[in-house]
Amino acid sequence: MYQPEVRAFFHEPSNTFSYVAWDPATRKAAVLDAVLDYEAASGCTARHSADRIAAFVQAQGLTVEWVIDTHVHADHLSAAPYLQSKLGGKLAIGEHIRAVQETFGTLFNAGSGFARDGSQFDHLFVDGERYTLGGIEAMAVHTPGHTPACVTHVIGDAAFVGDTLFMPDYGTARCDFPGGDAATLYRSIQKIFALPNATRIFLCHDYKAPGRDEYAYETTVAAERAGNIHVREDISEAEFVAMRTTHDATLKLPQLILPSVQVNMRAGQLPPAEDNGVRYLKIPLDAF
């Protein structure tokens, strides 16, 4: 299978890995899960992390075809529209963004001016959709459970799984966000496990499991099937659901979930400025 080249970029404040994947023959590239820097105390945004990606793409002479978010992130703001403005490409996410927009558009009382049809994006991937990155065959696989709109992108021998899986020693994504479901996540992971064993898996986050000193972002289907502490091959769906449900009940919400979702449901665009020229994010009280 044809292999894309992959470069990871780590954003330590949110423990997020962003990626540039490209076809070495044609130099056509995709950017996945880019982070917009955000200071919660001041409400200030910055683009230092995204600029590192842009500088790399330009230095390598790559042409960006796709700027992809694997899902509506709850722990960081997306830099996708900023990088599109710098590098080009189509802004894309899974078609089930509509369900997320409906849920959170209502929660944040976004009003009739907020479209809930995914039209903020250039392209909405459907389950099983095949596309290309230069000369490399790629496929979008709907892998919900963490959120309804999660998509794994299989580009050649590389699978970009978003938050669906973590390193084998850390486990799997939480399923307690609106629209999340542990049984659905288990079944989505089986789709990933059905890929060839040698498939490279690139993760969106790492938190350094106990006993591990270094951050990690790449594993394989074989390693996940054999050793993932939450969902290896000998763990049943019922066992997984019981574990995930019990564990999720102990977790706090991500620090940046409220600003992140409001921005990311808009394809990374900040809310429109009000009549004083200032943009605002809402904090719903006692809503969770």
Token pair, residue 84, equals 């599109």
Q: How many domains does the chain have?
A: 1
User: Per the domain annotation, does 34 fall within a domain?
Assistant: yes
Q: pLDDT over 90 for what percent of the chain?
A: 97
Q: What is the mean pLDDT of residues 51-69?
A: 98
Cβ atoms within 10 A of the Cβ of 264, count?
24
User: Per the domain annotation, does 261 fall within a domain?
Assistant: no
| pLDDT for position 115 | 95
Q: What is the domain-level CATH number for residue 70?
A: 3.60.15.10
267 band by pLDDT with thresholds 50, 70 and 90: very high
Token pair, residue 190, equals 């089986």
The pLDDT of residue 112 is above 70: yes
User: Per the domain annotation, does 276 fall within a domain?
Assistant: no
The pLDDT of residue 242 is above 70: yes
Q: What is the mean pLDDT of residues 11-25?
A: 97
The pLDDT of residue 150 is above 70: yes
The parent domain of residue 174 ranges over: 5-255
Burial class of 39 by CB neighbour count within 10 A (0 to 12, 13 to 18, 19+)? exposed
CA dihedral 233, 237, 239, 242 (to 10 degrees): 140
User: Per the domain annotation, does 286 fall within a domain?
Assistant: no
User: Per the domain annotation, does 13 fall within a domain?
Assistant: yes
| pLDDT for position 1 | 56
CA dihedral 19, 271, 12, 67 (to 10 degrees): 0
**Dist CA 172 CA 182 (whole Å):** 10
Q: What is the mean pLDDT of residues 121-145?
A: 98
| pLDDT for position 131 | 98
User: Per the domain annotation, does 50 fall within a domain?
Assistant: yes
User: Per the domain annotation, does 285 fall within a domain?
Assistant: no
Task: Give the residue carrying structure tokens 């230092």.
Answer: 48
User: Per the domain annotation, does 277 fall within a domain?
Assistant: no
